Structure 1
């Protein structure tokens, strides 16, 4: 029989020879997922014997990593805002940078709407990371969440159920704000948030193979200049925002001024750019004052 340490050593060497950046870490993450244990258990019990069936499953997943499938798709898991989310191919993998967007909404809620009912719209549900985090962390909220992808909505609903917030979320299928038409939601939203596709079309092919070959282009391609979705959302949001409501976007590192200008030209006030931990522009926010 083969032991934990034996198989980890073999997998690490194979991943390293395939130019995987973090071979030992990836080997451990995949094995802990297959065994259903925390990584620390692999270090505590390195002599634990592993069945041939576990070995077979493990090597199948290691081969996927060698082909540059993101580790999150392999183990169907990603952490976001301290919460665990189910992910699979077909939805964008939640990034740590997007937590800045969620944190900004939480901060604004604490200032403007604390202890009052808050209605939030999330455009581009994906895995539900933003939607579910907001519902979980802002307990006075009701979140409307829109995505054009039926698969994304199915995964997001699964994550909402896992975190017990499904009763405070309404999932709608459709393009951008179109599903809100004729639903009586005009001037009712305290926040509209979105992490839209923002990669310029020409730049999509320049992304790493791990991203462009596996993550959905629908969630990446923002049109010729990367700003297509910002234009549409900025233009349509005022119809649904309450007086003094907020529009917040995640942006690419070089899009802060362009998105700010779109919002200012539309008539938003208090438009500000928020930087991420690396000091790069990451969020643009603005207030709609009638």
Structure 2
């Protein structure tokens, strides 16, 4: 029986497997079923898109067939493709991701772009990435600001392990220090009071009553700790706004990502706190006010 199954699997061609994969993902409601099935086969067969097309009539091995079937089954169950393949692109670079970390989103690239633009002429800036997760923000800034010293902070040891892998992957482990702890507290251990050039964060910002309405890929598989932002989605933002002034240097920056529609309320919190100036919002490509930016007076 085992031999006959292996022989049967060996006769399945790349084209047939791709066609069956697309049908399975379409039946599961995956909008980009064709592209995702193609990405899965590229990973399993270690071939490019073009090679898959050119070698369409080539049979797949029983091991490859089983591996593809497993990934397609899991994707049909709405497990995020990024976790299945173990990678996600951010700022033009590939980052390792696991279920221990939030999957990087394009809108978060705004934090990197705006901070790099603002600090490009600043000598030896000190930057804290609070809630570093995969380390995508810290790594991207280290690569764009070679003179920067960066702290990547997270309360999850598993997330920090992923971040460390990404530091090594991109060759910046000598300039990014990972620290375990709650929000800004680890900065106390390095006497950072009044010395930090920029505090950046993509904190949890999903309101509690919206968590159960998230799409399955997010609500069922991404870490809840990185999603749940309290009753109004701004619980962590409040703590950052009140705590950052202790560590920011004069002229220092506090930049936080916020959920859709939350920017005005977050700006109000910053103004009510006092001690900040140049308070503004930065929209993403969809026109959503995505970043709240504030500075400590020089």
The bucket for the TM-score relative to the shorter chain is over 0.9
Name the residue aligned to 1:144: 151
Q: Does 1:175 align with 2:182?
A: yes
Name the residue aligned to 1:245: 252
- Map 1:249-264 onto structure 2 (within 5 A): 249-264=256-271
Greater C-alpha radius of gyration: 2
Q: Deviations over 1:97-130 (max 9, x none)?
A: 11111111011113x51xx111100000111111
Secondary structure of the equivalent of 1:197? coil
Alignment partners' CA distance in 1, 2:145 and 2:184: 22
Alignment partners' CA distance in 2, 1:72 and 1:229: 26
- Name the count of aligned residue pairs: 287
Q: TM-score, normalised by structure 2?
A: 0.94
Alignment partners' CA distance in 2, 1:42 and 1:249: 42
Q: Does 1:46 align with 2:39?
A: no
Name the residue aligned to 2:168: 161
Alignment partners' CA distance in 2, 1:129 and 1:146: 12
Alpha-carbon distance, 1:47 to partner: 2.2
Name the residue aligned to 2:69: 59
Alignment partners' CA distance in 1, 2:48 and 2:146: 30
**Structure 1: 5+ residue runs without aligned partners?**
none
Alpha-carbon distance, 1:204 to partner: 0.7
Q: Does 1:90 align with 2:100?
A: yes
Alignment partners' CA distance in 2, 1:209 and 1:201: 16
Alpha-carbon distance, 1:45 to partner: 2.2
Alpha-carbon distance, 1:37 to partner: 2.7
Q: Does 1:269 align with 2:277?
A: yes
Alpha-carbon distance, 1:43 to partner: 2.1
Which runs of structure 1 show a deviation greater than 6 angstroms over 4 or more consecutive aligned residues? none
Alpha-carbon distance, 1:46 to partner: 1.6
CA RMSD of aligned residues (A): 1.1
Name the residue aligned to 2:8: none
